[in-house]
Amino acid sequence: SNKSKNLIDEINFLRKKRNAIILAHYYQEPAIQDIADFIGDSLELSRKASETNADVIVFCGVHFMAETAKILSPNKTVLLPDFDAGCTLADDCQPDDFQKFLDKHPNHFAISYVNCSAAVKAKSDLICTSSNAVDLVNKLPKELPILFAPDRNLGRWVERQSGRKLTLWPGRCLVHETFNEESLIKLKIKNPTAEVLAHPECQENLLDLADFIGSTSKLLNYSQNSKKDKFIVLTEPGIIHQMRLKDPLKTYIEVPGLDGCSCNECPYMRMNTLEKVLNCLKEMNPELHMDEQIRLMAYKPLKKMLDMSN
């Protein structure tokens, strides 16, 4: 429409003027994905944020992702279209409670999934994402006791893939925990040739029904390279936009939330809109600021992740 064309023209003008890069996660609404300079999973987005020459990073994702960008690029201005775009995993793991958990398990090596606050990262030994979690755990000495926070589903999956026991924090993602086995089985019966692609944040009983499990990028890559032409996609449906762009001839089926509503969309990711992207570029606000001491402490385990997974 004309309105969105004007919006995009204005965004493009300001993006240039401010020397800004727009980074978007795969769970962003399609209109935002379409104007982004770079789209990726959490790991790729953090790499990109650490490598860019831009002066300004507009992070179209959620709060912890913008924090991660700031931790890696402290001299850049990091803007978020909506400051309130949070994440249940990060919210469920408050730094004080996490500290108690650490105290209860002395001598444990603490791995935190990147979906947590900078304050929790600062208390961790190593950060991981869903795309490198298994590899990182496999690289650690066998006898080292490991504590894993905050996603228990990802943690359980890593336990199964690595054959190691982890001490798990009980966090969960509201989007992935909402998928239910019965609706998935119904879809499988209706589409017997379809492959089931799942994000490891899903519960174990759903992962047991999956043909392939991985981060958003890995799911995208799998759907492109598979010989099958139909997929049941067990994650936030934003990723389906890229799957369709990469291979429009294949069929991608989303799994409804509990009551058939669109609660398979992440309400936080979807708080961002083109209007808000334009607005933050105009006002240079909301901007993410971070205490330098926390940043330095959070940088260590994050840098270690990047070094261990290149």
Q: Which amino acid is at 83?
A: F
Based on the shown chain and the rule CB under 6 A, indicate whether residue 117 belongs to the binding site for ligand 13P: no
Nearest approach in angstroms of CB 98 to ligand SF4 is 17
- Element containing residue 190 per DSSP (H, E): helix 181-190
Q: Given the rule CB under 6 A, which residues bind ligand SF4?
A: 27, 62, 87-89, 115, 173-175, 201, 236, 266, 268-269
226 is in an annotated binding site: no
Nearest approach in angstroms of CB 184 to ligand 13P is 17
Based on the shown chain and the rule CB under 6 A, indicate whether residue 129 belongs to the binding site for ligand 13P: yes
Segment lying near ligand 13P (by CB under 6 A), choices 6-14, 31-39, 129-137, 177-185: 129-137
Segment lying near ligand 13P (by CB under 6 A), choices 7-15, 128-136, 164-172, 244-252: 128-136
Distances from the Cα of 195 to the Cα of 128, 210, 235, angstroms: 27, 7, 14
Identify which of residues 7 and 118 has a Cβ nearer to ligand 13P in the complex: 118
Among 115, 132, 153, 223, binds ligand 13P (CB under 6 A): 115
Distances from the Cα of 17 to the Cα of 21, 55, 140, angstroms: 11, 10, 46
268 is in an annotated binding site: no
289 is in an annotated binding site: no
261 is in an annotated binding site: no
Identify which of residues 171 and 256 has a Cβ nearer to ligand 13P in the complex: 171
Q: Which amino acid is at 183?
A: S
What span, in angstroms and rounded, lies between the C-alpha atoms of 134 and 136?
5
Distances from the Cα of 276 to the Cα of 146, 151, 200, angstroms: 40, 29, 30
DSSP assigned state of 108 = -
196 is in an annotated binding site: no
93 is in an annotated binding site: no
215 binds, among ligand SF4, ligand 13P, none (CB under 5 to 8 A by kind): ligand 13P
Segment lying near ligand 13P (by CB under 6 A), choices 29-37, 70-78, 127-135, 253-261: 127-135
Identify which of residues 54 and 277 has a Cβ nearer to ligand SF4 in the complex: 277
Instruction: Give the number of other Cβ atoms within 10 Å of residue 164's Cβ.
Output: 16
268 binds, among ligand 13P, ligand SF4, none (CB under 5 to 8 A by kind): ligand SF4
How much is the CA Rg of the chain, to the nearest whole Å? Answer: 19
Q: Are 126 and 139 in contact (CB under 8 A)?
A: no
Identify which of residues 14 and 93 has a Cβ nearer to ligand SF4 in the complex: 93
173 is in an annotated binding site: yes
42 binds, among ligand 13P, ligand SF4, none (CB under 5 to 8 A by kind): ligand 13P
Q: Report the number of secondary-structure helices (H) and strands (E) in the chain.
A: 16, 12
- Location of structure tokens 């379409």: 34
Based on the shown chain and the rule CB under 6 A, indicate whether residue 178 belongs to the binding site for ligand 13P: no
From edge to edge, which strands make up the β-sheet containing 146-149? Answer: 126-128, 109-113, 146-149, 166-168
200 is in an annotated binding site: yes
What span, in angstroms and rounded, lies between the C-alpha atoms of 20 and 49?
11
Q: 234-270: b or e for each residue (b if 16 or more CB lie within 10 Å)? A: bbbbbbbbbbeeebeeeebbbbbbeeeeeebbbebbb
Based on the shown chain and the rule CB under 6 A, indicate whether residue 130 belongs to the binding site for ligand 13P: yes
87 is in an annotated binding site: yes
What span, in angstroms and rounded, lies between the C-alpha atoms of 245 and 125?
38
Binding site, by residue number, is 25, 42, 87, 113-115, 130, 173, 199-201, 216, 266
Binding site for [4Fe-4S] cluster, by residue number, is 87, 173, 266
